[in-house]
Amino acid sequence: MDDRSLVLLDQAVINEVAAHGVVLPPWTAYPDIERFSIGWRMGNGEWHLMVWWHWWERDRPDEASRIAYFRAWPPPVEWLDWAAIGIWPDLDDDDTSDPDAAVRRLAGHGIGCHLAWRTWLEEAERDDETP
């Protein structure tokens, strides 16, 4: 990433932390953008995720602080796998990725419910198959 982008990200983090004490999770910052919307790949949603990850990787370096964040800002069911990978990025290995295990691990820390996530996922998959 170029120096100008880093300066902009740093300033955006400063602004968010000054306003909220943290960089808000995506579902709180932009509740009208659905989890798998293109809105996270362009415009304000994309920028927010860039700011969030920049802050997250710099200011939340350990598992305990990451778990505490998601306890304070509980993810909606459709964001549970994303939150789990935020805490444990090694769970997102393309060769061994297991979203079920990630969400179970998250639920084991009192964040979300694996059964609710499975139910949501199965309903979403059925909706995708409907012509």
Q: Residue 128: what pLDDT? A: 78
**pTM of the entire structure?**
0.89
**What digits encode the pLDDT tens for the residues 29-82?**
999 999 999 999 999 999 999 999 999 999 988 999 999 999 999 999 999 999
Distance, in Å, from the CA atom of 27 to the CA atom of 1, rounded to the nearest integer, reads 26
Alpha helices in 1-131 (DSSP H): 3-20, 26-29, 43-59, 63-72, 80-87, 99-108, 114-129
Q: Residue 96: what pLDDT? A: 63
